Amino acid sequence: MLPQFIDAHVHLNTRSEAKMELAKKYGVSFLSINTDIPFFEKLKDQEQVIHDLLDKYPGSTKFITSFDTQYWNTERWLPHALAQIKKGIENGAVGVKIWKNIGMDPVIKDLDGNFVLLDDERFNTIYQYLVDNDILLIGHQGEPRNCWLPLEEMTVDSDRDYFSQHPEYHMHLLPEYPSYEEQMKARDNILKKFPKLKYVGLHLFSMEWSIDEVAKRLDTYPNTMTDLAERICHVQLQAKENHEKVRDFFIKYQDRIIYGTDVIDDGQITEKEIARKFERLWKAHWDFFATNKTLEAPEFKGAFQGLELPVAVLEKIFYKNAIKTYGPFEHIKIN
């Protein structure tokens, strides 16, 4: 593995230390993304955890702030959301997250009872504020496209297993919700309307099923980046079918792709288990990107070959692009 890299998509919501000690061992810095998720602590409490970790491990972690939908459909909502953004940036956040609850939460509707999507005009003031103040927006919209497919048509076993056990989140069974295509169109509409908006399309722009679709967004919206968090298995599946095409994609877009795992450290498993999860993922992902080993993934059946990307490309994906996007990380030195 590289002697230093950045896991630029994690959720460090506990003060446990095993993960931080492991990161020191591997020369890893973190980008922790605070998100308005119902089962997470409140945004201000997530931020406090990061500051507490930084007190003990200075320079180890950067963080992203966010805003919630408290006071939605009232005049108080927008001032409240802007105040959250401003406070987060003042406290050291390097960007703002907008999450999939916009478009998928049945509570967030307009006064006529329609789902609100990313291109609802009420968000325009926020987008313009970010542009005017040169603040980065990162976005996770929708779910993997598999969420909208029947179980038998899903491409990876991990999605099939999850949605078979949680039909309440399986969009194929909920036709009254916005479609996958509507979610993606709303996101693209914002990128068209605000071309100066600095944006990271998380999870391969939520288009993990097709690197061709990801490439189209990177080509169409030059002010954007993307990350790999929790979607590497989908890339591996495509590599199983066409190794050369996937390898060429990473070489062509080597300046636009950021590594991250999306590990959630929320106390549901022990701190040692979280550390082991990080270590397992880092090693498995490194084998895929850096070697030509014949590999297998738990998410689908069949073998695929590692991409064996050039070192210069690996350095960009594993840390240089994160620095370019999120700013310098104290413990990461650019050669």
- Asked if 61 and 53 count as a contact pair (C-beta separation under 8 A), the reply is yes
For range 79-107, the mean pLDDT: 97
Residue 334 lies in a domain: no
What is the pLDDT at residue 39? 86
What is the pLDDT at residue 67? 98
Residue 253 lies in a domain: yes
**pTM to 2 decimals?**
0.97
Distance, CA of 127 to CA of 301 (rounded, Å): 42
Residue 216 lies in a domain: yes
**Which helix (H) or strand (E) is 290 found in, with range?**
helix 271-290
What is the pLDDT at residue 272? 97
How many structural domains comprise the chain?
A: 1
Range of the domain at 137: 5-326
Provide the token pair at 124.
Answer: 């325009």
- Residue-wise pLDDT for 1-49, tens only, equals 999 999 999 999 999 999 999 999 999 999 999 999 988 999 999 999 9
Residue 245 lies in a domain: yes
Residue 332 lies in a domain: no
Residue 163 lies in a domain: yes
- For residue 64, the Cα-to-chain-centroid distance in whole angstroms is 11
For range 165-177, the mean pLDDT: 93
Provide the token pair at 151.
Answer: 């179980």
What CATH code is carried by the domain that includes residue 134? 3.20.20.140
Provide the token pair at 282.
Answer: 């880092």
Residue 335 lies in a domain: no
Side-chain-side CA neighbours of 99 within 13 Å: the count stands at: 17
Residue 158 lies in a domain: yes
- Residue-wise pLDDT for 39-76, tens only, equals 899 999 999 999 999 999 999 999 999 999 999 999 99
